[in-house]
């Protein structure tokens, strides 16, 4: 019977995952760690996981579940592509729901979660150029057009806000 791995740091070091060679530095280094995971998890019960000693609850909440289509951005799901109509009209309640979910995701991102799991889950964020091309409604426009204008403005303002936050973070202008 094999002994479980004592220190995960030593086991990961033994995998010898290093920096790519200079000639192909843009290509990711892939290494088959199936045997390592099999050895590390052979005596696991359901719900246990391999982690470093520095693993925190925040890390657990931010962790990606491998092969979960909602979390694993590298997983290819065999679903047909469904086009999204960004001009689709919604009721005021639906617009408020979209805005509420977007502010929740923005706050999750500001709290430290990844962009791909928070703000970028909003499909409108992937159509900013198209949103910019629409003209704003006027006071004489139909109510659904005005409601859509509110959503459009809110999304563009959120994009701009995220842009400014990102710029300040990448410049290191963060103080406690």
Length of the chain in terms of residues written: 176
As a whole number of angstroms, the distance between CA 54 and CA 14 comes to 19
Residue 37 in any domain: the answer is: yes
Q: What are the angstrom distances between the C-alpha of 121 and each of 33, 75, 82, 133, 163?
A: 30, 15, 15, 22, 16
149 contact partners, CB below 8 Å, separation of at least 6 = 136, 137, 141
Residue 154 in any domain: the answer is: yes
142 φ, ψ (degrees, to nearest 5):
-60, 150
Residues 166 and 96 placed together within one structural domain of the fold: yes
67 contact partners, CB below 8 Å, separation of at least 6 = 75
Is 70 exceeded by the pLDDT of residue 6? no
Give the pLDDT confidence score for residue 159 in this predicted structure: 92
Predicted confidence (pLDDT) per residue in 84-102, tens digit: 888 888 899 999 999 999 9
Half-sphere exposure of 21 (CA within 13 A, CB side): 2
Report the number of distinct structural domains present in the chain.
2
Per-chain mean pLDDT for the chain: 79
- pTM over 0.75? The answer is no
Residue 102 in any domain: the answer is: yes
Structural domain for 19, as ranges:
8-55
């Amino acid at each position: 019977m094999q002994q479980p791995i004592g220190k995960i740091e030593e086991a990961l070091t033994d995998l010898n995952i290093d920096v790519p060679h200079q000639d192909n530095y843009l290509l990711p280094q892939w290494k088959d760690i199936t045997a390592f995971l099999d050895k590390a998890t052979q005596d696991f019960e359901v719900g246990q996981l391999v982690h470093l000693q520095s693993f925190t609850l925040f890390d657990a909440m931010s962790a990606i579940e491998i092969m979960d289509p909602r979390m694993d951005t590298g997983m290819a799901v065999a679903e047909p592509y469904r086009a999204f109509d960004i001009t689709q009209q919604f009721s005021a309640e639906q617009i408020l729901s979209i805005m509420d979910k977007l502010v929740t995701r923005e706050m999750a991102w500001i709290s430290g979660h990844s962009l791909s799991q928070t703000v970028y889950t909003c499909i409108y964020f992937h159509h900013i150029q198209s949103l910019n091309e629409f003209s704003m409604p006027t006071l004489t426009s139909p109510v659904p057009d005005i409601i859509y204008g509110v959503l459009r403005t809110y999304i563009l303002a959120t994009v701009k806000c995220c842009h400014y936050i990102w710029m300040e973070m990448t410049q290191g202008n963060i103080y406690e």
